[in-house]
Structure 1
Amino acid sequence: MEPREESVMRAFRESAPDEAGLVARTWVNHLAWTLVVVLAGLVFWLVVAVVNAENQRHALANKECRDQVFKEEIDRTCLLSVRSREHWWQHLWYAMKHTSPQK
């Protein structure tokens, strides 16, 4: 091989990517994405719980689930299926704006 070709080949070898490190995997990304997915699931679960609690609180405040026989009691089956506002995001919006109990 000529010296000129040898210098070109040497330059090519030095600029080629390290194939051994191309497929190496780190667990840092897996840990970070797992943490993101778990936290997103937790936020989703908390939003569902807050919406459900605010729905029931609003139904109780407006006395939408009174028992038909005993007027001072609560109809628990109604409380499980009541829709006291039109949309779920209205419950969430109210719950986020009113974080302390009403006086």
Structure 2
Amino acid sequence: MTARTWSRRRAHRFIPMDAEDFYYPGGRTPAYTAIEINMMQGRAPDTQKALIKELFDKIESVVGISPVDMEVTIKEQPAHCWGFRGMTGDEARDLKYSVNV
């Protein structure tokens, strides 16, 4: 998998916190970063694992944050729980990306 594979559809939210309000597990540095990914159900476990490993590799090599300072959580919801463009995800037939991979 390449970074390009994961960049087809993006919506990012960054939530900055004051240092005194940000708690992180012991053994981590102030570079500790938590990443949550919301996606429709349909990706195979191997695809999800590849995404997580790619994030660890790319963030370490490009940004310099060690994998020990990263936490990645994937949250899946059924397509009917997604709403966009006036319809639910299970009604969308014109997606330009594959969900079942």
TM-score, structure 2 length as denominator? 0.25
Identify, as 1 or 2, the structure richer in helix: 1
Kindly indicate whether structure 1 or structure 2 has the higher relative contact order, using CA contacts under 8 Å at least 6 residues apart.
2
TM-score, structure 1 length as denominator? 0.25
